[in-house]
Amino acid sequence: MKIRSKLAAGAMALSTALMPAVVGASSHREAPFITKNPKVDGTDFYMFNSYETNRAGYVTILANYLPLQDAYGGPNYFSLDPDGLYEVHIDNSGDGVEDVTFQFDFDTALANAGAGVALPVGPTGNTKNVAIPLAIAGGVSAGDQTKVNVLETYKMNLVRGNRRTGTVAAVSSVAGSATFKKPLDNIGDKTFGGAYAAYANSFITEFDVPGCTPTGVAAGSHSRVFVGQRQESFPVNLGQIFDLVNGGVSNGGPGQPVNLVGAVDQGKNIIADKNVTTIAIEVPASCINKAGSTIVAGWSTASMRQARVINPTGSFAQPSREGGPWVQVSRLGMPLVNEVVIGLKDKNKFNGSEPKDDGQFADYVTNPTLPELLEILFSAAVPSVQAPNVFPRADLITVFLTGVPTVNNTGTTLYEALRLNTAVPATARATQSTFGAVTCFDPPASGAVGPTLNLARVGCDPAGFPNGRRPGDDVVDIALRTVMGFLLAANDAPGRALPLVDGANLSATAFQNVFPYLNTPVPGSP
């Protein structure tokens, strides 16, 4: 079903409100209902000024879905849902309502016009063509995809205004095609001859943003899109974090609890061997900015039809029938939210609310529970682990709900989204700070509200989180320190100086320096 007909059939979908960060997998299996629908589970959202050579003036947006993929998860692997609607939203007016939306509508079909690849089986004169049970019938490469049995494609729309009632424009490639192709997952080195990277890169497609004549970009350059499997990009000590923050101030070695004040990298990235599926787009900043402003806020969503009837004689193409209005079941803006900030009773509700209505979850932000939990768990052994004692948490409101004055403030409306100032020059990969823009703030004097920007601070990198988010920004460590009061006055946060870590770390140099930046996925077989 095409996006336009999908939109005509659906009422306005619900949006999710995500609040500021603490710690946990960025948004993996974060609410009870989304665990039933992993194909539409958004896991991470990145938005940053492109730092690839000759791509100044472009903004890269990465929306990851379908968490914790085991590379060997065949034979069906990890296709996206052809009955879902995946969206990336941009608010450029500061009201928590989308102004520009990129929509992705996926389709999965078998080769040979839906019949699939078949092999002749039986003796001469008595053979039968029988459909194969696998996604491939032989080796695959960028130049030879004739053995592919499962074909994933997608269409893109650009919506200006409300995502359901706004003006819709179909997106086509520079070559003129309205249908974009998605590569197979990394089944293994034998399938791809050890050349999966070249195969996947052949699916990076150029396009132009409908209705926009870009400025500030290299002449003759175009926007780009890629959808496909990538190595999990979010480093996190997942098991120990959810085991009552299983850590201390010693050990930290293999098989031991993390040293919470030890080395930034203690080899605790337990999900490094997992993959995700990434929707990556790179567009000119001038095509998403509002005239007179260089600050945008972004988030990703996924929606499903309200009704589903299981087909009792289900086929590959139609195992169920979907209908009714769109209902949003996943949203992600700022990282590290729904797992441990929002109370369990509100997690599903959280995934179905709009950013403009974030006030209903305000208590989870202004009076966060994680600092209290950390104090309960560790203060006996480490007396300096004390929760901040000032409420409401003006520092969290400033950084996560309005943006930072003179950096990426979007106004007075309190809502959660990943904010980016597109005018801040990108920092080259080699010199990016894993602590991003947080290192650019001085804590306030006693009684003052919010942090103070100081671009002269050692290590200041204003192009990083929370001014957007790049793959190399260590948002877990940033969040741990921020929630314990790093940006508060010392008398309001006794534990503000603690160099808290989760022991899992990746720097920018661990990722690619070119679009789509995230690394080639882990193969299912060496």
- Tokens at residue 76, please? 């069906």
pLDDT tens for 481-525 read 888 888 888 888 888 888 888 888 889 999 999 999 999 999 999
Chain segment 270-281, per-residue pLDDT in tens: 889 999 999 999
State yes or no: pLDDT of 155 exceeds 80. yes
Cβ atoms of residues 236 and 25 within 8 Å: yes
pLDDT value at 427 more than 80:
yes
Band (pLDDT 50/70/90 cuts) for residue 31 is: low
- CA-to-CA distance for 28 and 239, rounded, in angstroms? 13
Which pLDDT value is given to residue 1? 40
Query: How far is the C-alpha of 67 from the C-alpha of 236, rounded, in Å?
Result: 13
* Alpha-helix runs per DSSP H in 367-489: 370-378, 394-396, 475-483
**Angle at Cα 43 formed by Cα 468 and Cα 231, nearest 5°?**
90
Question: What is the separation, in whole angstroms, between the first and last Cα of the chain?
Answer: 37
Q: How many residues does the chain have?
A: 526
3-state secondary structure of 350: helix
* Per-residue confidence (pLDDT) for residue 498, from 0 to 100: 84
Taking the C-alpha atoms of residue 104 and residue 106, their distance in angstroms, rounded to an integer, is: 6
Say whether pLDDT at 196 is over 90: yes
Q: What are the helix and strand counts (H, E) for the chain?
A: 9, 19
Mean pLDDT computed over every residue of the chain: 88
Q: What is the pLDDT of residue 6?
A: 38
**8 Å CB contact between 416 and 401:** yes
Mean of the pLDDT values across residues 192-196?
A: 96
Residue 294 is predicted with a pLDDT of 97
% residues pLDDT > 90 (the chain): 58
What distance lies between CA 239 and its chain's CA centroid? 20
Query: 144-173 burial string, b = 16+ CB within 10 Å, else e?
Result: ebebbbbbbbbbbbbbeeebbebebeebbb
User: Is the model's pLDDT at 17 over the cut of 50?
Assistant: no
At 81, is the pLDDT very low, low, confident or very high (cuts 50, 70, 90)?
Answer: very high
Please give the structure tokens belonging to residue 8.
């005509």
pLDDT at residue 89, as a whole number: 98
Q: What is the DSSP string of 222-287?
A: -EEEEEEEEE------HHHHHTTS-EESS--STTS-EETTS-S-SS--TTTTEEEEEEEEEEEGGG
What are the φ and ψ backbone dihedral angles of 65, each rounded to 5 degrees? -140, 165
**Comparison of pLDDT for 153 and 453, the residue scoring more:** 153
pLDDT tops 50 at residue 173: yes
Q: Note the pLDDT of residue 381.
A: 67
What is the dihedral sign for C-alpha 132, 203, 515, 339?
negative
Segment 85-93 mean pLDDT:
98
* pLDDT given at position 199: 98
Please give the C-alpha separations between residue 446 and each of 140, 198, 371, 390, in angstroms, as whole numbers: 63, 56, 20, 11
> What's residue 3's pLDDT?
42
Residues 78-99 as b/e (b if ≥16 CB within 10 A, e otherwise) read bbbbbbbbbbbbbbbbbebbbb
- The predicted pLDDT at position 255 comes to 77
Q: What is the pLDDT, as a whole number, of residue 345? A: 84
Q: What is the C-alpha to C-alpha distance for residues 2 and 154, in angstroms, rounded to an integer?
A: 10
Residue 289 pLDDT > 70: yes
Average pLDDT over residues 436-459: 79
Percentage of the chain modeled with pLDDT above 70: 91
pLDDT tens readout for residues 365-401 = 888 888 888 888 877 767 778 899 889 988 888 877 8
Per-residue pLDDT, 447 = 64
